[in-house]
Structure 1
């Protein structure tokens, strides 16, 4: 199994995310966020594709970290909240949906990309040429 080191677990904030870009087999790039998994496991980290299930063009991390509150990733547009460990949303416009997972593993305090369907492209988001992501959100954190 090929794996790529993404970050140290200690570099993944408790109330935020680490943003990176992966390349799909067809060559397209997708943003992914790393978040601490709030299940009491200590070094547990999860990776999710960087979009809300309600509106796939709505990024959870818009370049300055996703809002993570009480073990949930908060969609900045409508406030839907996704469990950091399972990706499940039980409220708001995205209720009854799951974030799309990307496989990662923690080994000796480091997080590695282990998903065979993608390869690591680079740290940060996809360079889409926009200075500001589109959002009509009124939520601030």
Structure 2
């Protein structure tokens, strides 16, 4: 048994999409986090729900766009590896998404990062920055 807050069941994380939840950091700031499938152990990774190039949310309530194991920034199209968080193209090239530590045990995803406390499923409730992109996936 892993110590930490239950976030979701692995089955709740959509293939080709993301599961959005809100956590609180050590400074009591609410932070959106996404869970995504990864081909490497533990099979699920958690990333802060913001592109490193601009304050652009990946998942705005309907799942982050993901293709071929990469999270797609809806504004400029930068691609982030779902397993490592690294980006090697576009405006965000050379950056890595901030990760949030999770564990997978008995089909459950558990928040194990000491820097965050689980608050709730879904986003922060604000609209955040909007995308000016015309990219389609």
TM range (shorter): over 0.9
Conservation of the 8 A alpha-carbon contact between 1:75 and 1:81: yes
Q: TM-score, structure 2 length as denominator?
A: 0.93
Alignment of 1:18-97 (within 5 A): 18-39=19-40, 41=41, 44-55=43-54, 57-97=55-95
Residues of 2 paired with 1:30 and 1:139: CA distance? 26
Cα pair 1:77 1:135 within 8 Å, conserved: yes
Distance in 2 separating the partners of 1:98 and 1:80: 11
Helix, strand or coil at the partner of 1:77: coil
Unpaired runs of at least 5, structure 2? none
Count matched residues.
136
Aligned to 1:17: 18
Q: Root-mean-square deviation (CA), in Å?
A: 1.5
User: Deviation per CA, 1:12-33, whole angstroms, max 9, x where unpaired?
Assistant: 1110000000011211101000
Contact 1:62 1:133 in 2 (8 A): no
Superposed displacement of residue 2, structure 1: 4.2
- Greater displacement, 5-14 / 29-38: 5-14
Unaligned runs of 5+ in 1: none
Q: Which runs of 4+ in 1 moved over 6 A?
A: none
User: Take 1:140 and 1:66, find their aligned partners in 2: how far apart are those partners?
Assistant: 13
TM-score, normalised on structure 1? Answer: 0.91
